Copies of this chain bind each other. A is one copy, B any other.
Amino acid sequence: MSAEDLLARVGLARVVEPGSRPLWEALQTRSATEVWAAVQAGEPLDGLGQQALDGIVTRVRASDPSRDLDTLVRLDARAVCPGDDEWPEGLDWHPDTITGDIREMAPPLVLFVRGPHDLRAAAASSVAVVGARAATPYGQEVARSLSFDLAETGLAIVSGGAYGIDAAAHRGALLAEGAPTVAVLAGGLDVAYPRGNDRLLEQIGQKGLLVSEHPPGRGVTRLRFLVRNRLVAALTQGAVVVEAAERSGSQSTAGRARDLGRKVMAVPGPVTSVLSRGSHLLIRDGAQLVTRAAEVLEELGAIGEVEAPALRGVVHPRDRLEEQTRRILDALPVRKPVSVAQIAVTAGVSLLMVQVALPELVGAGLVEQRDGGWRLTTLGAT
Chain A residues proximal to chain B, CB less than 8 Å: 15-17, 50-52, 54-56, 58-59, 101-104, 138, 141-142, 221-224, 246-247, 267-272, 276-277, 280, 283-284, 288-289, 291-292, 295, 313, 316, 319, 323-324, 326-327, 329-331, 344-345, 347-353
Contacts and interface: CB of A to CB of B under 8 A. Distances in A.
A289 B268 contact: yes
Given A269-B268, A348-B58, A223 B326 contact: yes
A353 B54 contact: yes
A345 B63 CA distance: 13
Given A283-B289, A345-B58, A221 B331 contact: yes
A54 B344 CA distance: 10
A194 to B, nearest CB: 14
The number of times this chain is found in the oligomer is: 2
Contact of A271 (B222, B269, B324): B269
B247 A142 contact: no
* Majority secondary structure, A binding face: helix
Nearest to A284: B289
A330 B54 contact: no
Nearest to A58: B345
B283 A55 contact: no
Contacts of A271: 142, 267-269, 291-292
Contact of A102 (B58, B103, B313, B323): B323
Nearest to A332: B221
Interface centre among A54, A56, A141, A277 (most CB of B within 10 A): A54
A291 B269 CA distance: 10
B138 A104 contact: no
Contacts of A276: 268
A265 to B, nearest CB: 11
